[in-house]
């Protein structure tokens, strides 16, 4: 063979080798990609109350969260109370389908009285096809303050965190940790990440009875974070009673579900719970705004001053606040005071979005004709006049500030805040009541009927419930009034506000 032929043969051999190696590498890469990043089996969307109320089975379960003084689920009320101190926010829900609809669930944001601030608490209703009904679990994500703030801002959970799981009996009367399973039952938590750029899924972390496998987030895009999905499986031997239901009861490190190496080959075909962390962002933003207001030096000083006057003063006192620069409020006190009202001249000043006033324990009320009624007992909660004045304030301020309008009321029964939760609905109510005598009269009539009628024998706590019920349910032009009431949690010093809770 000539030297030229040898060179041609060697070149051809090298080309074939390189081509085969490239093909093999592509094939290996394809297999690796296929194993680690597959199309997501999860689909989810947020749906409104109007949509999920069409599901009668789900609605019947939510009715168990309605106490005697609350309203039925077809009202405008956003939440339900259950006797063991749970508030479920039902204005919207996270709907999830798994494996082409073989399993679906509804995840609601919830909150327990006195629960830690950094928790994300969800109640999950998972459809059971064999029963044509829903089972309920409480899933709690135990986060740091930084992790929760990141989730509020981005919808993404970062780093390591723990998850706990509790069951609710079918009659919804018992809420308990799932720690009563007979051994050797196991609970598997698996957290999957879905990458928004590729719509593919991988295992982020997994836990089986405390044994944690933590993987790195494979998503690299900034500003467009992964979405988390939690799959819970209860694995019990056939001989154990009660079937596949149960959990550790104690928080277990975030994730769960076998020996995954980051691939999703082991996706369960029939998991017990599929959910994702969900919070009502509007409620979180309102709570943060209330916290900012009540921590402002000017507003806080007036609240402390006024709170001290409740036992001894005989007249209301109040002030309005407007932003005079970034996060700096200026105060304007009421021009005149009466036993049951305050007034301002001028009525409003541009930029006034926060007001604070008190209802004293006993008042001397001066009527329009000059008659003074002594030793009157003011309401421990917002009066009809307070609510109407709140709507006047909404109507007065610029559109970009309507959702910031806040009326803080301090009474013997506590510290409350009237806030806007939907500025379009609130503006509709304000405009209708202002411009329509019929809407105004219906408002007054309904308040007297639902709140004031036979109220002389009510306890302060029950009167507060009536007012809250009215605010949550009264409609104007067929819409909610778009306002809500929050109550402050006060520290032992009697003045420091540690939390705001929606009523």
Q: Over the stretch 165-184, which tens digit does the pLDDT of each residue have? A: 888 765 545 554 554 455 56
Sign of the Cα pseudo-torsion (265, 269, 272, 275, in order): positive
Is-contact 486 294, C-beta < 8 A? Answer: no
Tokens describing residue 302? 């007036």
Tell me: pLDDT of 114 over 80. no
Tell me: pLDDT of 267 over 80. no
Tell me: pLDDT of 27 over 50. no
What value does the mean pLDDT of the chain take? 79
Tell me the per-residue pLDDT of 343-389, one tens digit each, with 9 for 90 and over: 999 998 888 999 999 999 998 888 888 888 888 899 999 999 999 99
Q: How far apart are CA 90 and CA 73, in angstroms?
A: 9
Tell me: pLDDT of 471 over 90. yes
CA angle 391, 393, 399 (to 5 degrees): 100
Look at residue 95 in the predicted model and tell me its pLDDT. 95
Q: Which residues pair with 253 in a beta bridge?
A: 162
More confident residue, 218 or 185: 185
Look at residue 4 in the predicted model and tell me its pLDDT. 55
Tokens describing residue 329? 């409020």
Q: Quick one: average pLDDT of 256-284?
A: 67
Domains (ranges, CATH) in the chain? 39-279 (no CATH), 283-502 (3.40.140)
DSSP secondary structure string, 183-211?
A: TT-EEEEEEEEEETTTTEEEEEEEEETTE
Look at residue 226 in the predicted model and tell me its pLDDT. 73
Q: How far is CA 130 from the centre of its chain?
A: 31
Sign of the Cα pseudo-torsion (217, 220, 225, 228, in order): negative
Tell me the per-residue pLDDT of 243-259, one tens digit each, with 9 for 90 and over: 434 333 444 444 333 33
Tell me: pLDDT of 17 over 60. no
Give the list of residues 6+ apart from residue 443 with CB closer than 8 angstroms, or none. 384, 388, 433, 474, 476
Tokens describing residue 481? 């009034």
DSSP state of 491: P
Confidence of residue 32 (pLDDT cuts 50, 70, 90): very low
Look at residue 265 in the predicted model and tell me its pLDDT. 46
Give the list of residues 6+ apart from residue 49 with CB closer than 8 angstroms, or none. 90, 91, 92
Give the list of residues 6+ apart from residue 410 with CB closer than 8 angstroms, or none. 303, 306, 307, 310, 356, 357, 358, 359, 416
User: Going by DSSP bridges, is the β-strand pair 352-358/406-411 parallel, antiparallel, or unpaired?
Assistant: parallel
């Amino acid at each position: 063979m000539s030297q030229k032929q040898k060179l041609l043969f060697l070149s051809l051999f090298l080309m074939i080798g390189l081509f085969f190696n490239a093909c093999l590498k592509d094939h290996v890469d394809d297999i690796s990609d296929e194993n680690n990043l597959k199309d997501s089996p999860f689909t989810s969307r947020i749906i409104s109350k109007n949509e999920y109320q069409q599901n009668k089975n789900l609605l019947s379960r939510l009715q168990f969260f309605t106490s005697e003084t609350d309203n039925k689920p077809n009202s405008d009320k956003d939440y339900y109370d259950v006797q063991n101190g749970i508030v479920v926010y039902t204005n919207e829900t996270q709907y999830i389908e798994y494996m082409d609809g073989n399993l679906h669930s509804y995840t609601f944001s919830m909150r327990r009285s006195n629960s830690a601030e950094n928790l994300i608490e969800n109640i999950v209703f998972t459809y059971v096809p064999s029963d044509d009904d829903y089972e309920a679990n409480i899933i709690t994500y135990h986060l740091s303050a930084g992790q929760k703030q990141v989730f509020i801002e981005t919808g993404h959970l970062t780093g390591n965190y723990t998850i706990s799981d509790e069951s609710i009996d079918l009659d919804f009367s018992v809420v308990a940790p799932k720690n009563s399973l007979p051994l050797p039952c196991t609970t598997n938590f698996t957290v999957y990440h879905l990458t928004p750029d590729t719509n593919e899924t991988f295992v982020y972390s997994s836990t089986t009875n405390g044994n944690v496998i933590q993987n790195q987030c494979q998503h690299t895009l900034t500003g467009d974070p992964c979405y988390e999905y939690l799959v819970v499986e209860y694995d019990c031997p056939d001989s154990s009673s009660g079937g596949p239901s149960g959990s550790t009861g104690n928080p277990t490190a975030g994730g769960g579900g076998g020996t995954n190496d980051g691939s999703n080959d082991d996706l369960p075909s029939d998991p017990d719970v599929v959910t994702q962390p969900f919070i009502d962002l509007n409620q979180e933003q309102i709570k943060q705004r209330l916290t900012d207001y009540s921590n402002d030096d000017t507003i806080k000083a007036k609240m402390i001053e006024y709170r001290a006057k409740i036992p001894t003063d005989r007249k209301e006192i109040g002030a309005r606040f407007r932003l005079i620069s970034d996060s700096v409020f200026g105060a304007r006190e009421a021009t005149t005071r009466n036993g049951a009202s305050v007034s301002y001249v001028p009525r409003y000043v541009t930029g006034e979005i926060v007001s604070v006033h008190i209802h004293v324990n006993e008042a001397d009320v001066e009527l329009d004709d000059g008659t003074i009624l002594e030793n009157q007992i003011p309401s421990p909660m917002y009066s009809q006049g307070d609510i109407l004045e709140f709507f006047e304030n909404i109507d007065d301020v610029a559109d970009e500030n309507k959702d910031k309008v806040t009326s803080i009321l301090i009474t013997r029964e506590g510290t409350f805040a009237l806030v806007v939760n939907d500025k379009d609905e609130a503006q509709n109510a304000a405009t209708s009541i202002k411009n329509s005598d019929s809407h105004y009269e219906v408002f007054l009539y309904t308040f007297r009927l639902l709140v004031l009628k036979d109220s002389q024998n009510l306890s302060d706590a029950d009167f507060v419930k009536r007012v809250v019920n009215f605010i949550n349910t009264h409609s104007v032009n067929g819409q909610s009034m778009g306002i809500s009431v929050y109550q402050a949690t006060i520290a032992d010093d009697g003045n420091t506000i540690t939390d705001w809770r929606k009523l």
